[in-house]
Amino acid sequence: MNGIHRFALSAVLSLLIGISPAKGAQEASAIPEDFAFLFQIRRLVREAPEVVLQRLGPETLHNQRYAGELHLFAARAALRLEERSLAMTHFRAAARRSPEIAAYALEEMAQALADGGIPTAAIPLYQEISEAYRQVPIHLPAQRAAARLYHDVGRPGIAIVSLDRLLETPLRVEALLDKSAWLDEIGNREAAVAILLALREELPPQIDEIERRLAHFAEAGALPPEPADARRKRAGRLRRIGRFDLAWAALEPLLPGDADLDREIHFEAGYTLFRMRDYRRALQEFQAYEAAGGEKGKALFWIAFTLSRLGDFQASRSHYEMLISLLPATSYAEEARFKLGLVAEELGERERAIEAYEAVVRRASRFASDARWRLAWIAFSNGAFAEALEHLDASLGGKIQEEEAERALYWKGRALAALDRPEEAQAAYRRLLSEAPDSYYSALARLRLGEGDDLALLQRLFPERARHGEISSGALREVFAVDRGEEEPHFPLHRQTLEAAYAAFHAFEGALETFRYEGMEEIRRAAHLLLIGRPSDARLELRGVESRNPHDERFLRWLAPLYLHTEGYHRLVRLAENDLAPRLTPPAAGNRPLWRLAYPPAYAGVLRSVCEGQPELDPWMLTALMRTESHFDPQARSPAGALGIAQIMPETGRRLARALGLAPFSPDMLFDPEVSILLAAHYLRRLLHILGSPLPAIAAYNAGEAKVAEWLSQWGDLPMDAFLESMRYAETRNYVRTVTRDWLRYRHLYGAKMP
């Protein structure tokens, strides 16, 4: 490890656990030999288990500081070599020599016995864990494992009684799922179904598994009929949590159905399909809703809106106009007046769009500020800078939201600059920097002023006059059409370094030295769980500490480095946003540690590996993208079906995995952060190759490369800031702004190079 990397590590340590940079450098450069030996053995368990057993003889283990951990590694190595008796000896020694990992060593021992076909020997071990280690989170999974083994050895009565003891614990849903399956096996199908139906009402995270099992019972004719009204209510609850796919599955059997119920079911089905982006079927349901006598204004509005999503702008206009004519005083008509302007813009009818927006402004409706912005943008886009300035000033003088004000101030500066009024333009930019120093638009203002640490990056992201990727029929091709060839880079799987492992353990040791809270034993166990490669269990220990202490700023700043080292990035972001949001004023030297809680350098080692040798891939760009997509939740699932930390659709993941030679592929692989990052990096690299610039590539990650290529063919000659404002999807505009802002925030908080 060279001096630069050592200094980077020391800087991270000093920032996270409060030691001086000099001391951090000293600690990083003097990793104890026994820790280095432990790390080397851990790596060898998979690569050369026979070497592990050769090196861990009795004389080696006798005086080792980490004897318990080394015994556990020896047990794992013995299992890989199918020396089960030796493995059991080492498991027991690990539990005896290291109290912090005793329960976990016994759990691995029990699992090995169960996997080896000796469940009767595993059951007492699981019972020992569940009874003797009640302070350890693993005691509940051990109790469930014992119950499942009782089931496997043909003792269902004891198994179900064991599960019932879990019904007042965090494993309640898992226990009920097991109980339902076992009741079905012994012929009590009615009770099995009743459990699943009750769980379905709770909408737990296991809802997909519940629905899968209920579908199986339905095919067997064992599911009682669900009343239409109950289905509708269930679909509504599913929509509220973003599960539009399951909501549609609940509604579809009702179409067609009872005539009195059809109207609302058709609308609910249409809205559900619309949110699933299945616009053609959504249109059919909205039209059926209208034909069945549904509320006229609602029907016309959603038919018009869906037609515009399908690109039939003339038909969309006709329905909006009909709505305004028939029901001029309704809220639907107010929104329709604004959307008529958008439709006119899509059809290239500038004057008609202006007329529509001016009518909205005169009516002072809730869409007036949006209409005023569209008027300003039309004027600016057509070189009428004085007219644009009038509209922007009018917007700033009215009641608008914070981000709308930031946008208006930036484009006011741009309009003033175009009118050759540089001093006034600079004043607008300065005002923006004063009022919103950390926004997307303030970054653009710094670019215009020629200031800031990220000026070079901003100049690269926002070229003034260039075609942003030469898009033609030859360049626009399917991203996945070409399999990996010689020109494609190989993205190696990440391997934790010795320095990173020591930094993590060192952070826990430092935390124990400054411990003033409830839960010291949990912290000790978490530290040792990191040593044996069980970060998810370490996170569970930290959740226990978290639940026992008040979430004040001092405690969270103490806890944050520990979550960071256990890859608890999602939890860090949630804690920061829920408990520290009022104190997250714009990043400055004084509050930078708080911002680091909200913006952790998630999966930095993986990202460095992925981006190494790929200068077009800035790891901070990928970090910002993942934070925007999922808040670093590896189990995230979008309404559209995207999965994992990088929110990749299963079919997209399959194609990317094939291109990278990761086979066989299954959608569950997307829940593995490392796999998800590998695929996202490859996808972004391909988008950069096709679209020629980072910001269009980010837009394409959200809207699809074909749509962004279409926009580039229309507005690709505009300056980049203007091109991004011209993109038709509001969701994509907001997405690019958020990713860009967070990209810059990460660089501001940690430096241009990921530590």
Sign of the dihedral through C-alpha 689, 692, 693, 699: negative
How many CA atoms within 13 Å lie on the side-chain side of 523? Answer: 25
Are 110 and 230 part of one and the same domain?
no
On whether the CB atoms of residues 276 and 268 are closer than 8 A, the answer is: no
pLDDT, residue 586, reads: 66
Phi then psi dihedrals of residue 548, to 5 deg: -100, 5
**Is the residue at 430 inside a domain?**
no
On whether the CB atoms of residues 714 and 725 are closer than 8 A, the answer is: no
**Is the residue at 479 inside a domain?**
no
On whether the CB atoms of residues 645 and 676 are closer than 8 A, the answer is: yes
Residue 10: exposure state from Cβ atoms within 10 A (0-12, 13-18, ≥19): buried
Domain end, chosen from 294, 321, 337, is at 294
Are 81 and 200 part of one and the same domain?
yes
Are 212 and 231 part of one and the same domain?
no
pLDDT, residue 370, reads: 95
Are 543 and 683 part of one and the same domain?
no
**298: amino acid identity, one letter:** K
Using CA atoms, how far apart are residues 590 and 675, in angstroms rounded to an integer?
37
**565: amino acid identity, one letter:** H
Distances (CA, A) of 684 to 336, 434, 677, 742: 37, 34, 10, 17
The DSSP string of 554-567 is: HHHHHHHHHHHHTT
Are 89 and 157 part of one and the same domain?
yes
Locate all alpha helices (DSSP H) within 48-101, ordered by sequence: 49-55, 58-62, 67-80, 84-97
Domain end, chosen from 556, 575, 598, is at 598
On whether the CB atoms of residues 80 and 91 are closer than 8 A, the answer is: no
pLDDT, residue 539, reads: 93
Are 583 and 694 part of one and the same domain?
no
On whether the CB atoms of residues 335 and 317 are closer than 8 A, the answer is: no
Place of tokens 């993941």: 653
Are 150 and 257 part of one and the same domain?
no
**Is the residue at 556 inside a domain?**
yes
Q: Please, which residues have CB within 8 angstroms of residue 461's CB and are 6 or more apart in sequence?
A: 693, 694, 695, 720, 740
Are 626 and 739 part of one and the same domain?
yes
On whether the CB atoms of residues 137 and 537 are closer than 8 A, the answer is: yes
pLDDT, residue 336, reads: 98
Are 253 and 182 part of one and the same domain?
no
**Is the residue at 391 inside a domain?**
no
Task: Give the range of the structural domain holding residue 76, as residue numbers without chain letter.
Answer: 32-219
Using CA atoms, how far apart are residues 131 and 218, in angstroms rounded to an integer?
40
Instruction: Specify the number of domains making up the chain.
Output: 5
Using CA atoms, how far apart are residues 699 and 251, in angstroms rounded to an integer?
33
**Is the residue at 363 inside a domain?**
no
Are 592 and 616 part of one and the same domain?
no
**Is the residue at 103 inside a domain?**
yes
Which CATH number do you get for residue 716? Answer: 1.10.530.10
Are 157 and 283 part of one and the same domain?
no
**Is the residue at 543 inside a domain?**
yes
How many CA atoms within 13 Å lie on the side-chain side of 649? Answer: 9
Which CATH number do you get for residue 236? Answer: 1.25.40
Using CA atoms, how far apart are residues 732 and 145, in angstroms rounded to an integer?
46
Which CATH number do you get for residue 126? Answer: 1.25.40.10
Structure tokens at 707: 């749509």
pLDDT tens readout for residues 542-590: 998 998 888 888 888 888 889 989 999 999 999 888 877 666 666 665 6
**Is the residue at 266 inside a domain?**
yes
Tell me: cis bond preceding 664? Omega within 30 of 0 counts: yes
Are 240 and 159 part of one and the same domain?
no
On whether the CB atoms of residues 398 and 365 are closer than 8 A, the answer is: no
Give Dmax (Cα) for the chain.
Answer: 92
Radius of gyration of the chain from Cα atoms? 30
Domain end, chosen from 571, 598, 625, is at 598
DSSP symbol at 253: G
pLDDT, residue 8, reads: 35
Residues of the chain with pLDDT under 70: 1-29, 257-261, 464-495, 581-590
